[in-house]
Structure 1
Amino acid sequence: MPEPRSGRRRFLRRRAVTAALAAAFSTVLMAGLTSCGASDAGGHITLTFSWWGNDDRQARTEQAVKLFEKAHPGVTVQMSNADFGSYKQRLSTQAAGGGIPDLAQLDYRQISQFAGGGALLPLDRYVKDGTLDTGEMDASLVRTGHLDGRQYALPMGRGITGYVYDATVFAQAGIPAPQPSWTWEDWAQVAARITAMKLKTPDGRTAAGANDGGSNEDVFEDWLRGHGKQLYAGPSTLGYTEQDLAAFWSFCHRLQKSGALVSSKDSAQADATGISAFSRGLDALDYSWDATFTGFTSPSGHTIRYAPVPTVGGRAGSYFKPTMLIGIGAHSKHPKEAAELMDFLLNDPRAGDVLGVTRSQPPNRKIAAAVDRKLTGPDRQVWQFDEEMEKYGVQPPPSAPPKGDVAIESAFTREYQRVEFGLASPRKAAHELIVQAKQELES
């Protein structure tokens, strides 16, 4: 879900290179030895399961897994958890070194990467024989785990994008709460209006109205879908043109130069650290996934709310997608038991009660309805927001992005940062991105 992206540290001290290579080799070796489940002499089965997430998700997931172990006394689950950036790197290393864990949490963008690379086990046989039950899941959400006609992963939650906003500042400015039909033009006007209030940041500067989403491919996708297009028209074809991207980047950069959006330096820092400008008190509107809204706080103690992504003439570009998925390592020695654990986490009411909305709305409708009745506070706000967006109407989710998307996403951020710092015009950067994207998709 997509959660806030962690920055990559690009520069290593020369002295650390040798140590880094040695550590990487060790990790690859260990990945090959421990990524797949094993049986001891007495027939006891050990499964490995890894995911990313905060402390709350870790505690709830471990509790749910213990319930599974209690119901399956012959199975032990070795669990591991990490922050998103570290997790992605580790999973890629494991895939290269012989195999990912028996059960692994996956980002939407990783399905093509790992399934196409032979690191994930097709789940069709377990869906067909009933080990994995998808009957209470939305069919369009289940399809996001498809690749080339086969099911490689199942959704662990359902989420949607929006904007965290400072409701106290909105009230002070006389700005009404954003409605599902508000437009990008409305959003720009609100950002400019808040900037004109000349509010102070914690470090004494003038606060901006909103964050700059120009470097975030997710924001562009929402903007693009509002215009009736998609990121990808096919497995190796972009769904947008150089003109489309240049228009989006020009829109964002013009607002940034006017002061309505956070500075290029603050925007780049947010990209690098994963710490939003909103959390630092630098703006009053910040793009976010609903699953992460509950983790936001206001440095000034203000009331915060969650607003829809702006539309294009009322057409919503945001969509419900899997916040994350779960798959089985292709080299698992115990795929049947791994599938049983997966089904337990997705469909057992006991697990649903423990996991709650730690991965946003549960994909199983019956479990989601049971969880709904117990929600309070920010969790209740998110649930009501999701229901409001469902009633308003959004498009079905697209298929999982193609294999080259991970590299394209990085290039997207990098090219817009050149625009932010005056190193390239929106048109020039858009041209460069298109060239790089086509190379990735055709390779």
Structure 2
Amino acid sequence: MRQGGSMERRTILKAAGASLAVAGLGATATACGSGSGSGDGTVTIRYSWWGAEDRAQRINKTIALFEKKYPKIKVKTDFQQYADFWKKFNTQASGGNPPDVFQNAIGFLRKYDAKNVLLDLGEQVKAGNLSMDGFRAGLEKFGEVDGKLLGVPVGSNSMALVIDKPVYTRAGVTPEPGWTWDDFDAAMKRIRDRTGRAGDSGMYGVMYLYDLYLRQHGKAFFTEDALGFTEADLTDWWTKAERGVKEGVYADAKKVVQVKPKSAVSAELAGSEFTWDNFTVRYTSEGKSEYGLAPIPTTDGKKTGQYLGSLMLSASKRTQHPKEVAQFIDFMVHDPEVAKIMGYDRGVPATQAQFDAFQPDDEVNKAIAAYETSLVESGVLETITPHPSGADVCEAAFLRIAEEMALGKRSVEDAVKQFFTESKTALAG
């Protein structure tokens, strides 16, 4: 949920994708909190995030602006790729010394709140050190869990269908808001028959798409403490996906794996695929065609089940400098100059001031902004239930098991049983 127009391809590939399972945390130690101070009143806070070098360069520029405005606050930085970040974070948190402020995501809020790691930033809002005003489309609520403010959004994105525009044109397919899954299925066959290419890269492991499909039917992937669907529900979903591959409307999973890390769309194996809207830049950097964003199919022509997702900034409950951390977060989500530097690297800016400050001049990012604006104006957006503790493990299992099934290593029945077995264990912990 997180790239900008000039993002290098490796940044996207490393920062994106499904969450990976991370090692469990033991009880939080009673060591001293993080951060440090000096005799002249200057304090140092530690800031960690995941991503590649391009994001680091952008963030370091924003930190320089922050330190200029707050000369008594110094920021020590640290970043890794996604999986490495969480491994290190677990080690730090289990030792009672996590970074003062760090990049976070919805799948980890309940998990680390349950482990007593996250600071409730609500007190800093009351103290006037952090403003939750001016956020777009209700994003100020995104990091709230059980009445506590555990994360502050820095950007937004939503699921979309990325299409190879010339392929869709040749097939005579024009996706429009309100199209149904029946319309989508017919379009996939039309693309296959008229262009000789699979219509879609395959929907086996796109957990967030399945979440939208469930929400269209009055359910959701997660409730507050469990899975929100049945084995029968998932059997239907994966059976349909498997049938689509056999019929050639979804790409051959073996070929999709072979072209990784390139996407099936940019590798010309499929005419489209579901992903986060701000990943569109990936296809432009990888492929030779022209790519665009199409709306999510619906069940009833109205309800898409969509919400704005977001990366967030969270704080350690053990920080010795909660005020300075709050001031840092406030600066990063409200200052217009930060938006001009970050662009859409972490998604479309979460606050209106930053959204207005960065006006993209390239067609890809213009399309991303227009897509999210259309979602807000159309009124389709809903709220997301904060994922339960263990959701990150479930997400990783969903991706892995779905791929095993797609490659013919598991039957649908076996895949469903395996997923529910692993998920129940993860969510029970």
Residue 119 of structure 1: which of 117, 120, 124 is its match? 117
| Residue matched to 1:216 | 206
1:371 matches 2:345: no
Provide the rounded CA distance (Å) in 1 between the counterparts of 2:285 and 2:170. 16
| Residue matched to 1:392 | 378
Equivalent AA in structure 1 for residue 87 of structure 2: Q
> What is the CA-CA distance between 1:343 and the residue it aligns to?
0.4
Render the CA deviation track for 1:104-154: whole Å, top value 9, x for unaligned. 011111111222211211111101112110011258422221223211111
| Residue matched to 2:314 | 327
Provide the rounded CA distance (Å) in 2 between the counterparts of 1:36 and 1:197. 60
Residue 394 of structure 2: which of 408, 414, 418 is its match? 408
Provide the rounded CA distance (Å) in 1 between the counterparts of 2:369 and 2:166. 21
Provide the rounded CA distance (Å) in 2 between the counterparts of 1:365 and 1:119. 30
Alignment of 1:345-356 (within 5 A): 345-356=332-343
TM-score by structure 1 length? Answer: 0.84
Render the CA deviation track for 1:272-305: whole Å, top value 9, x for unaligned. x664222333222022212221232275521111
Render the CA deviation track for 1:328-361: whole Å, top value 9, x for unaligned. 1222222211111100001122323333332222
> What is the CA-CA distance between 1:32 and the residue it aligns to?
11
Secondary structure of 2:284's counterpart equals: coil
Bigger shift: residues 382-391 or 339-348: 382-391
Provide the rounded CA distance (Å) in 2 between the counterparts of 1:300 and 1:357. 20
| Residue matched to 1:246 | 235
Alignment of 1:280-359 (within 5 A): 280-297=267-284, 301-359=288-346
Bigger shift: residues 344-353 or 64-73: 344-353
Provide the rounded CA distance (Å) in 2 between the counterparts of 1:426 and 1:298. 35
Secondary structure of 1:215's counterpart equals: coil
Render the CA deviation track for 1:187-223: whole Å, top value 9, x for unaligned. 2232233233465xxxxxxx42211121121121011
Q: 1:327 to 1:172 in 2, by over 3 A?
A: same
2:335 and 2:353 in contact (8 A); partners too: no
Q: 1:269 to 1:336 in 2, by over 3 A?
A: farther
1:5 matches 2:5: no
| Residue matched to 2:216 | 226
1:183 matches 2:180: yes
| Residue matched to 1:146 | 144
In the alignment of these two chains, the number of paired residues is: 413
Q: 1:32 to 1:70 in 2, by over 3 A?
A: farther
Secondary structure of 1:127's counterpart equals: helix
Equivalent AA in structure 1 for residue 387 of structure 2: P
Q: Which runs of 5+ in 2 are unaligned?
A: 3-14
Render the CA deviation track for 1:385-418: whole Å, top value 9, x for unaligned. 1112223332422221000111111222233234
Provide the rounded CA distance (Å) in 1 between the counterparts of 2:20 and 2:226. 27
| Residue matched to 1:66 | 64
Provide the rounded CA distance (Å) in 2 between the counterparts of 1:212 and 1:194. 14
1:326 and 1:342 in contact (8 A); partners too: yes
The runs of at least 4 consecutive aligned structure 1 residues that moved more than 4 Å come to 6-10, 31-35, 267-270
Paired-residue identity, % = 27
> What is the CA-CA distance between 1:56 and the residue it aligns to?
4.2
Q: 1:6 to 1:317 in 2, by over 3 A?
A: closer
1:84 matches 2:82: yes
Provide the rounded CA distance (Å) in 2 between the counterparts of 1:9 and 1:393. 34
| Residue matched to 1:96 | 94
